[in-house]
Every structure is written in C-alpha cells, then in structure tokens.
Amino acid sequence: MRSILVRYHEVALKKGNRPYFVELLKRNLASSVRGLGLKEIKNLPGRLLLLFDEKADREEISDRVRRVFGVANFSLVESTSRDLEILKSKILASLDARHFNSFRIVTKRGDKDFPLTSPEINREIGAVVKERSGARVDLKNAELTISIEILPRNAYFGFDKIVGAGGLPVGTSGRAVSLISGGIDSPVAAYRMMQRGSQLAFVHFHSTPYLDKTSQEKVRELVKLLTRHQFFSRLYLVPFGEIQRQIVASVLRPLRVIFYRRMMMRIAEAIARKERADALVTGESLAQVASQTLKNLSVIEKATTLMVLRPLVGMDKQEIINQARKIGTFETSTIPDQDCCQLFVPRHPATKAELVDVEKAESRLDLAALTQFGAENAEVEEFKFPA
Ligand code: ATP
Ligand code: MG
C-alpha cells in the first residue's frame, strides 16, 4: 500500500486545541486528495499517516498535499514488515538507485513494546546502509534522511522530506470575507489569511455593463486557484456600476474612490453577515496608491463595524509580486482588465480625505438602499476542489 507521512508543527498545538486542529487537518487532507484512492488516515504522535490503494498516483498526491495548510512537511513512505532483516533489505534495495555521501536515520516508534529502542534501530540499520553505500553518518547535515516508523502491525520507511505549505489548517481561525479585485494584491492577501487558518468567502465588485467582463473572468480563475487550499469557496459578484453612477451624481471627483471603497465595505459587511464571517480582508498596502494613504485607509474602514484585516499592509510591491508568483496567481492577475475603480474617477484622487467631508457628502445618498441593492443583487457562484 502506498502511504504518505505528514508532519505538522507542534508549536501551534497548545493544550486543548490540539484534537480540533488535528481533526481539521485530517478533514482537509482527505478533501485535498479526494478521488486519489485514500483508504485511511492514521493518527501518530505529531504526525498523520495517509494510506492509499496500490494504484494511487504519487505525483498527484504530493502535488495536492503540498497545498494543504497546517502541513509542515511530508514524505512518501513504503510499508513493510517489522522484521528487522526484511526492513534492512527493503531499505537497501530502495537505496540502490541513489547517490549520497552522508545520511542519518530517524526512527520513531508508535509501538513502545517493540523489542529494540529507536537508537538501537538507527544503529542496526545505519551499519548496513553505511556498508552498502560507503556514505558516512552525519546527524546534523545529512544529504539523505531515512525515516522509519515502527507501528504495532507494520513499519514504514521513506527518504525525502517535501516542504509543506505551513500555517494552520483552514477552518481553525474562523471565517472572513475577502474583497478580491482581479489585481495582484488581493489574491495574495487571501492566501495569507487562509494560511493562518481562516476560511474565506470572496466578494468582487464589477461595473458591467459600463465596463467589460474581464475582471469577473479573472476573479473566477483566481478563486479557482485559491480554492485548491480551502476546497470550497463562494464568490459573490456584485453589480457595482449602478451604485457608482449614483455616487458620481452627488460626489465631487477627488473623493469618488474613497466613496466607492466605503460602499464596498458596507456591501461586504452585509455579505459577511450572511456568511457568518467576523472580518473583511483586503489587499491594501500602506501608501501603495493614493487611496491607500494612512488617512484614506482610516476613513475607508470607518464605513464598517467589522474588523478590516490587511495582511499586506507592510509589504513592498516587489515582495507581494514574488509571493503572487510563488502561489501561482501572478499570471492571471496581470491579464489586462477594466477595474471598477477606474470608472468616473480622476487621475489624481484625494490623498487626505477627512471623515467629516466624506460623511457630509454621503448624507445626500441613501446608503442603506444602495447597500441592500448591492448585497441582494450579487450573483453567487460556488467553487469546489477537486472540481
Ligand atoms: P489589488 O491588486 O488587490 O487590486 P490594488 O493595489 O490594485 O490591489 P486597489 O485597487 O486600491 O489596490 O484596491 C485595494 C483593495 O480593495 C484590493 O486589494 C481589494 O481588496 C479591494 N478592491 C479593490 N477593487 C475591488 C473590486 N473591484 N472588487 C473587490 N475588491 C476590490
Ligand atoms: Mg486593484
């Protein structure tokens, strides 16, 4: 049977939270490999063992497990008898095709009644590996680590550790609503929140028919990419053009972007209620553009009573771009589109909005009606991974 040994960081597992964390990690791992022949997930101390049927595609399994948050690292392992002679010969046979100058063996016993201790097993197996390969033992910087797990009925061994996505299992840190624009920043912000364990719903504001539909198509693709990490997503596509037209009719040009943003916050808050979410997430980064000065950000967030989380606030554009490339969203984000915030706005928006001015101008609008219009007319789409 083909198997994967998943290791998670214990630091995150303080006291009573541990079973909850492990349950969600198991659930998420099972979701991620759906359709790939998973038979069972076994709990081991600090680790999980995923057992697959014979035909399971290891490449595909690794690819999926690599994206599951909460996984520190994992290894592909072979199942074998606990008989030490059989274990030795299997390990030697699997090592024949490998070249390495140094190695170490790390044994863990899930069965403390096994006649040999872990260091004894390390020594016995180490001796034959050393003899066959000519490589030296190096406990600190080994080129090859051989991991062995002794369980009550059988044993497992494997060689390489694949680095996982880290963070916490999605679902362990509540729910939030992510405002996603189709640009570079907001998908990275969403990723960082999911990595901290939040389950996200997505909201996108579009200005069709005043602008074309590219931003919606991009956002669908981005949500699809991000859903690989949380397995289910809901996307709300809010028709914003009509609301913008009303804002434009009563608000002077320099403040329009601030108004758009405040309206977005209100509508996202209404959607967060439906989603039972506790926070809004944006891709704003301090002073990146005129609408993101400290003053403007603070005026924008006063439109909602929800906490506004901005995981990118202290990041440089280049750092954000690097992460977008790494998580695979950059290419989609850089397809040219027509962003709703470009509609009816000046090239030089206000950088120092004052709340009193904004509130005064807003009093000419029926904010509750506009909010309701946006939230109720949103089209809702659902995404699943694997599809
Ligand atoms: P991004 O690359 O995420 O679009 P940006 O640097 O272009 O960010 P802005 O266009 O000022 O910045 O938007 C700031 C944030 O406001 C975005 O990161 C996003 O969270 C939210 N936002 C902007 N436009 C939209 C939209 N059309 N739909 C949903 N959220 C939006
Ligand atoms: Mg943008």
Contact 302, 367 (CB under 8 A): no
At residue 132, the 3 state secondary structure works out as: helix
pLDDT of the residue at 10: 67
- Residue among 178, 181, 210, 282 whose CB has most ligand 1 atoms within 8 A, to mutate: 181
Q: Does residue 169 lie within any of the structural domains?
A: no
Measured from the CB, is residue 329 less than 6 Å from ligand 1? no
Integer distance in angstroms from the first to the last C-alpha of the chain?
Answer: 26
Domain that holds residue 41: 2-163
Atom of ligand 1 nearest to the CA of 182: 4
CATH number of 56's domain = 3.30.2130.30
Q: Both 243 and 337 in a single domain? A: yes
- Ligand 2 ion: residues within 5 Å (CB): 181, 183
Q: Both 183 and 134 in a single domain? A: no
Q: Does residue 170 lie within any of the structural domains?
A: no
Q: Both 189 and 297 in a single domain? A: yes
Alpha carbon nearest to ligand 1 atom 6, residue? 185
Q: Both 239 and 350 in a single domain? A: yes
Measured from the CB, is residue 219 less than 6 Å from ligand 1? no
Q: Both 154 and 203 in a single domain? A: no
Q: Both 136 and 231 in a single domain? A: no
Measured from the CB, is residue 341 less than 6 Å from ligand 1? yes
Measured from the CB, is residue 288 less than 6 Å from ligand 1? yes
Ligand 2 geometric centre to CA of 333 (Å): 10
Of 67, 74, 37, the closest CA to residue 169 belongs to 67
Q: Does residue 70 lie within any of the structural domains?
A: yes
Distance CA 158, CA 173 (A): 32
Measured from the CB, is residue 297 less than 6 Å from ligand 1? no
Q: Both 255 and 318 in a single domain? A: yes
Q: Does residue 59 lie within any of the structural domains?
A: yes
Measured from the CB, is residue 284 less than 6 Å from ligand 1? yes
pTM of this structure: 0.93
pLDDT of the residue at 170: 96
Phi and psi torsions of 232, nearest 5°: -145, 135
* 329-368 pLDDT tens trace: 999 999 988 887 777 777 777 778 788 888 888 888 999 9
pLDDT of the residue at 309: 98
Distance CA 6, CA 62 (A): 11
Q: Which numbered ligand comes closest to the C-alpha of 317?
A: 1
Number of separate domains in the chain: 2
Structure token digits, residue 296:
């403007």
Measured from the CB, is residue 374 less than 6 Å from ligand 1? no
pLDDT of the residue at 297: 93
Measured from the CB, is residue 301 less than 6 Å from ligand 1? no
Q: Both 75 and 119 in a single domain? A: yes
* 175-185 pLDDT tens trace: 999 999 999 99
Picking from 96, 131, 163, the residue at the C-terminal end of a domain is 163
Q: Both 12 and 118 in a single domain? A: yes
pLDDT of the residue at 100: 95
DSSP secondary structure letters along 138-170: -SSS-SEEEEEEE-SS-EEEE-PPEE---S--T
Atom of ligand 1 nearest to the CA of 281: 20
Structure token digits, residue 325:
């490339």
Cα 93 from chain centroid? 38
Q: Both 227 and 150 in a single domain? A: no
**Alpha helices per DSSP H over the chain:** 18-32, 58-65, 84-95, 118-133, 185-195, 214-230, 241-250, 256-274, 294-301, 317-327, 330-333, 355-362, 367-376
Alpha carbon nearest to ligand 1 atom 26, residue? 181
- Residue among 184, 185, 320 whose CB has most ligand 1 atoms within 8 A, to mutate: 185
Distance CA 387, CA 378 (A): 23
Q: Residue 339 burial by CB count (10 A; 0-12/13-18/19+): exposed, middle or buried? A: middle
3-state helix, strand, coil in the chain (%, to 5): 40, 20, 35
From first to last of the 387 residues of the chain, give the pLDDT tens digit: 689 999 998 656 667 788 889 999 999 999 999 999 999 999 988 889 999 998 889 899 999 999 999 999 999 999 899 999 999 999 999 998 899 999 999 999 987 889 999 999 999 999 999 999 999 999 999 999 999 999 888 899 999 889 999 999 999 999 999 999 999 999 999 999 999 999 999 999 999 888 888 999 999 999 999 999 999 999 999 999 999 998 888 877 778 889 999 999 999 999 999 999 999 999 999 987 777 889 999 999 999 999 999 999 999 999 999 999 999 999 999 998 888 777 777 777 777 878 888 888 888 899 999 999 999 999 999 999 998
Q: Both 207 and 84 in a single domain? A: no
Q: Residue 360 burial by CB count (10 A; 0-12/13-18/19+): exposed, middle or buried? A: exposed
Q: Which numbered ligand comes closest to the C-alpha of 219?
A: 1
